[in-house]
Homo-oligomer: A and B are copies of this chain.
Amino acid sequence: MSDPRGFPPAEYRERLAKAQAAMAKAGLSALLLTTEADLRYFSGFLTRFWESPTRPWFLIVPRTGDPVAVIPSIGVPLMASTWIADIRSWRAPDYDDDGVSLLATTLCEITSEGAVIGVPRGLATHLRMPLGDWDRVQAAVGSRRFEGDGAIVQSQRMIKSPAEIRKISAACAVADRAFARVAEIARTGVPLSEVFRRFQMLCLAEGADWVPYLAGAAGPMGYSDVISPATDRPLALGDVLMLDTGLVVDGYFCDFDRNFSLGPPEAAVAEAHDTLIAATLAGFEAARPGNTAADLFHAMDRIVTGGAGGSDAGRLGHGLGMQLTEQPSLIPADHTPLAPGMVLTLEPGMVVSEDRIMVHEENIVITETGAAWLSTPAAARIEVLET
């Protein structure tokens, strides 16, 4: 049933060929990548060690030829298990020269004088290395210069391969099964923090490799916030409980939530949930090649606000894959054309009363003719616990 871990080298060769074609078009001699997801996308280097901020990691993708890893020696055995053959390392941390001259030398070897090297520098990116060392690298590459990568990496990562989609689908299936068991762990009197712990245990028991993200809230008539960690407040009759998880299977995320009512829901809560599902379905109907990310926003926003233009959450969904959130954003300003292989969340939210909101979220993939669900879509009627 499940795919083997990782990907065959052919998958990485395809990614590389696609990036190199875009680099040629953009006049870039190489890409310099520094973040977990970008490195892993081209190498298969999967480790939770990025949790440590100490060491920088570099992958150079040249316009021709294979990628070159410039990494701390502690990562060499793992990198050597990937398809990457050219691995250069130093013993980090090195207070005199923490990979700077090794990186600069390698860039100079791989690219010619005057070359332009692309670095992701647009929205939702950052450079994961010390700013001081970044200055040093720029000064050490002669006449070469660094420019933006024209969002080559981000754009390419938006379109998932069939193998990637299977991994995201596997993550969604794990979360589906965990959500189906929430009645086992959520009862009145149980502190929300304990529900969070037990829900993460369910995710692991159902097959998650790890659970990088869990947010949620509980309160009467909804909640004021969707990004907070759990408090120790016990669940109470009448609460709406929301759990939103981004769990990982073989390096790929799901990202969706479920709402529950502790006991019979208030009419406003039941109605809000019904409306959120209707909005999600409207998003799903609009999800097909030919439409844009903005079209999905408007399809859902028409239903949740009557077309007022969204909320403080800022968007009504987004891409996902190797990261919990990726491009595009479902906002009016995002005119990214939907394309087969794009994996998205549909995430409408609405105000239930005064300062209380509810948010619903599903995961889908764009196909040649429309979209397919990756999460099993929730029913219009909010699930009731402890009836």
A residues at B contact (CB < 8 Å): 5, 35, 37, 46-49, 51-55, 72-78, 81, 89, 91-96, 98, 119-133, 148, 193, 196-198, 200-201, 204-205, 207-215, 224-232, 246, 310, 312-315, 318, 323-325, 329, 331, 333-334
Contact of A329 among B93, B129, B313 (CB under 8 A): B93
Chain B residues whose CB sits within 8 angstroms of the CB of A193 once the complex forms: 209
Q: A93-B329, A125-B130 are in contact. List 15 more A-B contacts (CB 8 A).
A: A37-B53, A52-B324, A53-B325, A54-B318, A75-B227, A77-B225, A77-B228, A91-B310, A119-B131, A120-B131, A121-B132, A197-B209, A200-B204, A200-B210, A212-B212
Minimum Cβ distance to chain B for residue A145 (Å) = 13
Contact of A325 among B54, B201, B214, B246 (CB under 8 A): B54
Number of identical monomers bound together in the oligomeric complex = 2
CA distance A89 to B314 in the complex (A): 11
Minimum Cβ distance to chain B for residue A185 (Å) = 11
In the complex, the answer to whether A126 meets B131 with C-beta atoms within 8 Å is yes
In the complex, the answer to whether B130 meets A128 with C-beta atoms within 8 Å is no
- The residue of chain B having its C-beta at the shortest distance from the C-beta of A331 within the complex is B93
Q: A130-B122, A201-B204 are in contact. Are A52 and B229 (CB under 8 A)?
A: no
In the complex, the answer to whether A53 meets B125 with C-beta atoms within 8 Å is yes
In the complex, the answer to whether A225 meets B78 with C-beta atoms within 8 Å is yes
CA distance A313 to B55 in the complex (A): 11
In the complex, the answer to whether B227 meets A209 with C-beta atoms within 8 Å is no
Q: A74-B226, A78-B225, A131-B125 are in contact. Are A213 and B96 (CB under 8 A)?
A: no
Chain B residues whose CB sits within 8 angstroms of the CB of A81 once the complex forms: 228
Q: A126-B127, A126-B128, A196-B209 are in contact. Are A49 and B91 (CB under 8 A)?
A: no
CA distance A265 to B122 in the complex (A): 53
Contact of A211 among B210, B215, B224, B227 (CB under 8 A): B210
CA distance A232 to B73 in the complex (A): 25
Sorted nearest first, the 4 A-B pairs with minimum C-beta distance are A121-B131, A73-B312, A49-B227, A77-B225
CA distance A277 to B108 in the complex (A): 45
- The residue of chain B having its C-beta at the shortest distance from the C-beta of A76 within the complex is B312
In the complex, the answer to whether B48 meets A229 with C-beta atoms within 8 Å is yes
Contact of A205 among B53, B201, B227, B323 (CB under 8 A): B201
In the complex, the answer to whether B54 meets A329 with C-beta atoms within 8 Å is yes
Chain B residues whose CB sits within 8 angstroms of the CB of A75 once the complex forms: 227
